[in-house]
Amino acid sequence: MLFRIPRIAEILNSIGIVPAARGTARAVLAAGHKLLVFPGGDIENLRPFSQRHRVILGGRQGFARLALQEGVPIIPVVGAGNHETLFVISQGRRLAKAIGADRIARVHSLPLIFALPWGFLFGPMAALPYLPLPSKVTVQIGHPIEPAAWEDMDEPDHLADELYLQVEETMQYMLTELYGERLLPVLG
């Protein structure tokens, strides 16, 4: 959506951010570059505080299909504590669907959040810059998951499903481990 605004698109492209599209992803990989994908998008990033321990990719399997088609590994990355810098009270997924935001703008969340200095923010207002609460953020980079290991499966039609599940389960295991090391929410 931001790429529809010419000046913003220029700025994003100048720092290496590209639109989330299959063709763009293939072009980036064909040029020999690395590609960082957040398959969960707003569903993952705006999950409620009560679900901060969960990996929610929302069934989006495009990254798995792309890895299989292009023969590139998937390197799972998770972070613990980043969902403690503000409090998402509700995702607003039903509202986003009811008003068609998911179809029109690929927006699946219209969250109700609490963030400093604003207090409570709703929907598009949640995009305002905020002062993050102090939180220890720990990031873990997992081992590469090679799609070549999946080529020998008996049912190639289910490759993307299986790869998606392996990535999601691996990320959940990693995130659970990270949160297991934390003593207190927000403080880490």
pTM over the 0.75 mark: yes
Structure tokens at 140: 């873990």
Same domain, 93 and 172: no
Domain count, the chain: 3
Same domain, 81 and 139: yes
Please list the pLDDT of the chain residue by residue as tens digits (188 residues): 668 788 888 898 899 888 888 889 999 999 999 888 888 888 888 899 999 999 999 999 999 999 998 989 999 999 999 999 989 999 999 998 999 988 887 788 899 999 999 999 998 888 889 999 888 999 999 999 988 776 666 565 688 899 999 999 999 999 999 999 987 776 66
Residue 112 belongs to domain spanning: 87-131
Same domain, 26 and 100: no
Contacts of 61 (CB under 8 A, 6+ apart): 39, 160, 161, 164
Same domain, 17 and 110: no
In a domain, 188, yes or no: no
Same domain, 139 and 126: no
In a domain, 12, yes or no: yes
